[in-house]
Every structure is written in structure tokens, then in C-alpha cells.
Amino acid sequence: MRIKTRFAPSPTGYLHVGGARTALFSWLYARNKQGKFILRVEDTDLERSTEISTTNILNGLKWLGLDWDEEPTLQSARIHRYQEILNDMVDKKLAYYCDCSKSRLSSLREQQLAEKIKPKYDNKCRERNLKSSDNTVIRFSNPLNGKVIFDDLVFGKISVDNSELDDLVLQRSDGMPTYNFAAAIDDYDMEITHVIRGDDHINNTPKQINILEALAFQVPKFAHLPMILNEDGKRMSKRHDAVNVMQYREEGILPEALLNYLVRLGWSHNDQEIFSINEMIKLFDLANVNKASATFSKDKLLWINKNYIQNFENINYINELEDIIKQIGADIKLGPPLHKILPFFAKRSETLIDFAKDCLFLYTDKIEYNSPSVSRFFTNGIQTSMNKVVDMLEGAQGWSLEEISQIIKSVIKMDSLKFPQLAQPIRIALTGDTNSPGIAEVIFLVGKERTVARINAAIRLNS
């Protein structure tokens, strides 16, 4: 049997962190087993589903690199299939029409709550043999006795009495299928072998199993993933937490780093923290998924992101970095190629935003000086020493880090200065501030012509 998993988002917003982790675990399981991973868009909620949301979700998956093996399926394109199954179920007494009004159902619920009974439909229409009309729904004839028992691949054996389940609605009065019905039929039709999803769906699983078994359809295996909590110990919320995957892209997080972080939210392999994509695929197993909820930590994500940025031999993020530099108004053509500056800046940055801001002085000639730094380091007489540096740089035969470093050292010795007394005003002249890579490295990267021009401009401005 070839393993086949799916990710089935509802297009009612963006791809959030919880959904991305579910997609990742489903994708990894399929890739580990040399199986297939497919994408299904559950868009039967006509009021909330939008094409923009579908596009946002697809873009999020593409950015993360979670590719799928077949054309995405839209549930809205399968309405005829659901109707065909429903008609057959009604004919076989596996389902029935119900015309109970909302007010009756509301009153029933209130009464059951008052009597401290678990709210559920009372099966009033089950034996009435109603026909379809504008105000009818179709309900499932749930088994009245017995249990639903399944072995969850994360939580183990789960057993639910059928007496706790009600005759759930399969089709609303507007003709659209409900989630539990459509999802069960889709999983069968699409030959899904493993349904991997959040543990908020555990209560739905017995309902879907009963539907599939009533139809004599193959039941997939289920694995429910523990929820993700925010740092306050509460379930991550779309309203209150930064859970939009693409928001992390805007903040300078690398997709590989986010995947690495997400895979560790509920899964582990010994004490290893950093995983390449290939390592994730090779090592991933549902047996190592933890039952306990995982806590999302922005600090931990930044630590992993920093590790990826520091591995500057992996230059997959060059294009992302170039886009950010352009977005903040710099011209990438003014400075050295980005891959040549990685050794000088990568170890200083937690995010690509940090990286872009740190190296910005290389890609713009609009240098804004930090006034307190200028006041502190442009002391009387330092301009003379800076002029000596300019003269020696202009006369340099080559342009190497060693030669530039020697020029700085020789002027410091010549004028009896301490290193910061000369390095800092030059650094301010070249970058606008006192925080940068080593001064020789900065001069080397800015280049001879621009270095001379910037130092001269700073001397004139502060004389």
C-alpha cells in the first residue's frame, strides 16, 4: 500500500502556524515513506471561503517549499459527488431528511443543558420518512449502540460510545455538504491512507469513521497532533498571536528555519535541534510525536534563524535578502555582490531584516550620521589622522584586507592613538554609526573611491 497524506485547509484566511505544522508533518510522513502528499481546499463554507485566502495559503506553502504531488482539489468542484452519495444513503436508510427548525433545536439544547444532559439531536425526524424540501437538511443515521474504537498514531487507543454521538447533519438546507461528511468522502475517494491533523479534530474522527463504515468504505489511519500554545500557555490565536506564516517572511525569517522550528514543536530526534530538510525527511516518524502541547517561542525561532543565516555557505537566502534591501530603498548595484559580503555580516544577524539594515551602507550613498557618536569620536585633531588614512589609501597599490589593516595600524602608531580613536570616526564616516564589521573589512567592502569620498565628506562636515 502506497502511503498518501493530505493537507486540507479551509480558505478563510491565511496559512497560520498551526496549519503550516500540520502540512509539514503530513508532507514529511509522505516523503519519508516515498508516498504522495496532496492538497485539498475545503471551500464549502460559501460565506467565509475566498479565492484570496486560497491564494494566500498556496503562496505560504510554496514559500515554505512544501510541494504537493497532484493538482489541488476544491471541494466546491465535487458537489455532484457528495449529492450522489447522499442520495444513495437516503435510499438505503443510512441518512434521512430533517425539517426541525432552528428555534426547535435551540430550545432542545437549552432544555438539555438545564437538565445537565449532553446536547445532541433527539432523532425526531429519523423515522418520519420526509422528502426533500427547501428547509430540510440531511442527517446521518448514527449507530444507536456500540462503540467507535480507533488506534490514533499519536494518542493511542481512543474509544467513544455511539450513544454520545448524535445524528449529525450531512447536508445543510442550502445544499452544501458539512465538514465531517465531505472530508470523509474525500479521504476515501482520494485514497488517503493517513489523516494527519490537529487534535482539535479528535471529536470529529468517530463521526467520520461511522460514515465511512456505514458506506463500507476503507477507513484511513489517524494521527492527531498536539495543539500549539503561545508563551502565555494559551492556544495560539489568529487575533492575538503572530501566526501568519508570511508575516515571518516579512520579519526576515528564512523558510528553512521556520520549518526547522515547526518540526520541533511536538516532534524530536534525540537532542538534535538543527535539521536540514533532508534530515527531517529521513528521520521523521509519527512514533516520535509528543502527546503534550508544544509552546511557541519567538526567541527559539530567532535562535534557529540565526543559525541558518550564519551558515553562509548556504546561499539559498540571497534572493530574499536582495528583495529586502530593495524594499528599504537601496540599490543592490552600488555595492559588492551579496554572496561576497556573507562572511562579514552573517554572524551578526538574527534575521534578514537585521542583515539588510547592517549592510545597507554598502548599497546607498546617503549616509545619515548618528549625532551622539559624531560628538563623541570626532575630537580635535582627528581629522588630520583621517586625512593621512585617505592619502595612504589613495596610494595603495592593491586593495586587500591585509594592506588596509596595515594602513590603519601605521597611522595609529604614527599619531600615538588608541585603535577606537581612529577606527570609530572612520566607521562613522563610512556607515553613519559605530556598529559594523571590522574597520578594515568595512573599507574593503565600500571600495577605494567611495571610502575616500565618504571620509572627505565627513571631515568637511565636522571640521
> 65-105, pLDDT tens digit by residue?
999 999 999 999 999 999 999 999 999 999 999 999 999 99
In angstroms, how far is the first alpha carbon of the chain from the final one?
A: 80
| pLDDT score of 236 more than 90 | no
How many whole angstroms separate alpha carbon 384 and alpha carbon 20?
59
How many whole angstroms separate alpha carbon 233 and alpha carbon 228?
9
Query: What nine digits make up the cell of 277?
Result: 530538510
| pLDDT score of 463 more than 80 | no
Q: Give ∠ CA 283-20-58 in degrees, rounded to 5.
A: 120
Residue 311 belongs to a domain: no
| 221-225/194-198 β-pairing | parallel
CATH no. for residue 235?
3.40.50.620
One domain for residues 324 and 276: no
The stretch 336-346 carries a mean pLDDT of 91
| 169-171/137-140 β-pairing | antiparallel
| pLDDT score of 404 more than 70 | yes
Query: What nine digits make up the cell of 110?
Result: 437549552
Least trusted range by pLDDT, from 372-376, 400-404, 424-428: 372-376
One domain for residues 48 and 101: no
When divided into structural domains, the chain yields a total of: 3
The stretch 181-200 carries a mean pLDDT of 97
Domain boundary among 305, 335, 354: 305
Domain boundary among 252, 274, 305: 305
One domain for residues 289 and 343: no
Residue 312 belongs to a domain: no
One domain for residues 47 and 78: no
The boundaries of the domain holding residue 45 are 4-71+227-305
Contacts for 372-377: CB closer than 8 Å, 24+ residues apart: 373/424, 373/428, 373/433, 373/434, 374/428, 374/462, 376/424, 377/420, 377/421, 377/424, 377/425, 377/428, 377/434
One domain for residues 219 and 84: yes
Banded model confidence at residue 312, pLDDT cuts 50, 70, 90: low
Write down the pLDDT at residue 233.
82
Residue 313 belongs to a domain: no
Write down the pLDDT at residue 240.
54
Residue 403 belongs to a domain: yes
Residue 339 belongs to a domain: yes
Residue 310 belongs to a domain: no
Whether 385 and 416 have beta carbons less than 8 Å apart is answered as: no
| pLDDT score of 17 more than 60 | yes
Domain boundary among 273, 305, 337: 305
One domain for residues 353 and 426: yes
Rg (CA), the chain: 31
Write down the pLDDT at residue 241.
61
How many whole angstroms separate alpha carbon 264 and alpha carbon 228?
11
> What average pLDDT does the structure give for the chain?
94
One domain for residues 354 and 410: yes
For residue range 260-275, list pLDDT tens digits in order.
999 999 999 999 999 9
| pLDDT score of 384 more than 70 | yes
Say which residue the cell 586625512 belongs to.
387
One domain for residues 93 and 51: no
CATH no. for residue 354?
1.10.10.350
Collect all residues with Cβ–Cβ distance below 8 Å to 97 and sequence separation of at least 6.
Answer: 90, 125, 130, 131, 132, 133, 136, 137, 138, 139
5 in the Ramachandran plot: left (φ > 0), alpha (ψ -120 to 50) or beta? beta
The CA-atom distances, in angstroms, between 439 and each of 375, 382, 454 are 19, 16, 14
Residue 245 belongs to a domain: yes
265 in the Ramachandran plot: left (φ > 0), alpha (ψ -120 to 50) or beta? beta
One domain for residues 186 and 233: no
One domain for residues 439 and 408: yes
One domain for residues 81 and 12: no
DSSP at 177: B
Residue 232 belongs to a domain: yes
One domain for residues 108 and 195: yes
